[in-house]
A and B are shown apart, each in its own frame.
Chain A
């Protein structure tokens, strides 16, 4: 059965590592829905969070193939356990002053925030799981989305 998997990949912080990892996905026909990279708690190591779709067999192959890369230290299927996943989006909408009270109300309800205001536009920042951000984007559409940028998912398992 095809489903979404979120995997964390601990890698050496080396030039070309992202290319090795994304190249592996491309060459072997694995899907990348989102990929984020940043420093980890350990100097010299970065953590990638990759959201992919596939059945369990595909996930197993992805993990095994990743382990074959010399720069990959550890691969964890985060979605196998309860996890927290977050994404950030910035949404620039056209909003004349008259439309703003209603817009701000929506932003408040979603615990999003307004981070920039110009005479005719507003930038909304929203943090949450992918579904929440999708929903927020839907709600912003009627105002006219001028620009949208999303970070991709970062994630962590709950607890110790």
Chain B
């Protein structure tokens, strides 16, 4: 059936239940797959799914798996990710995933069931005030008290989630609301009086920015996730090339600017490159674009970019001036601001500066001491990069492997790098890859995890197996909570406290227990061969890489110090 016919059928003003309204509305919003977990409060909703050929739902093994999958789906496509959970424990299991999406501005619509309206507030079985619990970590939330409000609420939720600064929106639906009947009407227009994000930039502000660029001798662009989310990567490339400004991309900005470009300096901040950090400390004009000056980037704020006049382009006015004093604010959709700027952009006086930057790049490239005896995690990432032609969607968990993936897997396209930046959520890496693969069925999807974080959501191996979701899972097994080990070594005088992961499962057997192919590699030759085999295997594969235990991520800037105080470690 063609989609026009489906639309007409969906829009029919039948008298239907709240549950059917929900499903129809989700389909009308173009939702292709919902990730969820049923329970008492969403029984009517799940009943409406029964035998519904249009509606696709993936049953995860934990609500956290469902929301991270929805998150990966959203990050890799730019569409709204949707997950469903029941009331009480189901809803509270989503909290980490909601906070993860909120911190990284990911558009999600999170649907929770609740006890019937008559029971709300009575401590009824499985009741939790999920709108109250999640207020600080949602862009907005709704508790629907009347089935008549449901379709309008869903329409608004999708609009809010995916416009302006994106973010998660929660819709809490009491059980009686999902069972009551009403005539279905899906509003075409959304009109929310208190919500009018500024997307069109102010010309005067843009002109001020262009003026400052023409005068600058040592300008730097700090590009963040906002560039990727706004789909502004082409405009950014044009802007950087026209203005001749070197670019550093934050963790979430990776892929927003091609890593192969001569103007790219790598990532800034705590594990940033020598070049990016040194350039930030010496620049005379710093242009933040869709970046929020996170403390992992600025480190000690009072010592950050001390010589720079700061310009900031962002769709969220509250980000401007929040952490760093801003001389030139540009509020608007990043893509529109850059389009406007590109019409008149002229080069800065930056040729000597670019030359300087290139010298730094040559003198201090990212590097590590390789080994023939032990498998080095950096080498594994480089090998994966080589074998996937740098073209895969890569999701990571949180820890050392995340930083190595960010450093050594070079991204040339947006939305290929999926990682929890703001919240740093362990357990995110693997389930998010499931969402990415569902959204991009033909793409190569690689999930890079630590042995610690892999154990936080490994139950979702089942989903890969039964739906034949061909995610290639890499577990960099160093047998410890690596990033914590690194901090304890460097900051706490090698007092290693509760980081030993002895008792971890045999990851190969774990995979096999779920019906997923498992492979193990302990040296380069095995690693190469195992990954090749994984790539040549049609379904999901988990490859455990037994890597050097005591490897550290360098460069490193210690918390509380300035980004000019980089510890280079083995890197030099």
Contacts and interface: CB of A to CB of B under 8 A. Distances in A.
A64 B193 contact: no
Contact of A71 (B143, B194, B316, B321): B194
Contact of A20 (B135, B143, B160, B195): B135
A67 B135 contact: no
B316 A23 contact: no
Contact of A72 (B131, B135, B194, B321): B194
Interface residues of B, number: 18
Interface in B172-203: 192-195
B136 A73 contact: no
A70 B160 contact: yes
Interface string A82-114: 000000000000000000000000000000000
A103 to B, nearest CB: 45
B318 A67 contact: yes
Interface in B117-143: 131-132, 135-136, 139-140, 143
A12 B194 contact: yes
Interface string A1-23: 00000000001100110011001
B321 A19 contact: no
Contacts of B160: 70
A65 B194 contact: no
A85 to B, nearest CB: 25
Contacts of A12: 193-194
A18 B195 CA distance: 18
Contacts of A60: 321
Contact of B135 (A11, A23, A57, A64): A23
Nearest to A62: B318
A146 B195 CA distance: 47
Interface string A41-74: 0000000000000000100110011011111110
Contacts of B194: 11-12, 69-73
Interface in B262-281: none
A65 B140 contact: no
B461 to A, nearest CB: 37
B317 interface: yes
B541 to A, nearest CB: 43
B498 interface: no
Contacts of A69: 140, 194
A158 interface: no
B136 A64 contact: no
B158 to A, nearest CB: 13
Interface in A19-35: 19-20, 23-24, 27
Contacts of A73: 193-194
A72 B140 CA distance: 11
A64 B317 contact: yes
Contacts of B135: 16, 19-20, 23
Contacts of A68: 139, 165, 316, 318
A67 B132 contact: no
B322 interface: yes
B118 to A, nearest CB: 16
A25 to B, nearest CB: 11
Contacts of A16: 131-132, 135, 143
A69 to B, nearest CB: 7
A72 B196 CA distance: 11
Given A60-B321, A64-B317, A70 B195 contact: yes
Given A16-B131, A16-B132, A19-B135, A70 B140 contact: yes
Most chain A CB within a 10 A radius of its CB, from B131, B135, B160, B321: B135
A61 B318 contact: yes
A27 B136 contact: yes
B140 A64 contact: no
Nearest to B167: A68
A79 B316 CA distance: 25
Most chain A CB within a 10 A radius of its CB, from B143, B192, B194: B194
Interface in B316-361: 316-318, 321-322
Contacts of B316: 68
A37 to B, nearest CB: 16
A66 to B, nearest CB: 9
A19 B132 contact: yes
B192 A23 contact: no
Contact of B322 (A19, A24, A61, A72): A61
A74 to B, nearest CB: 8
A61 B194 CA distance: 18
Contacts of B131: 16
Nearest to A44: B193
A56 B482 CA distance: 43
Given A70-B140, A70-B160, A71-B194, 13 more contacts: A12-B193, A12-B194, A19-B132, A19-B135, A20-B135, A60-B321, A61-B318, A64-B317, A67-B318, A68-B139, A68-B318, A72-B194, A73-B194
19 contacts: A11-B194, A12-B194, A16-B132, A16-B135, A16-B143, A23-B135, A24-B136, A27-B136, A57-B321, A64-B317, A67-B317, A67-B318, A68-B139, A68-B165, A68-B316, A69-B140, A69-B194, A70-B140, A70-B194
- What are the 5 closest A-B residue pairs judged by CB atoms, nearest first? A64-B318, A70-B140, A73-B194, A27-B136, A70-B195
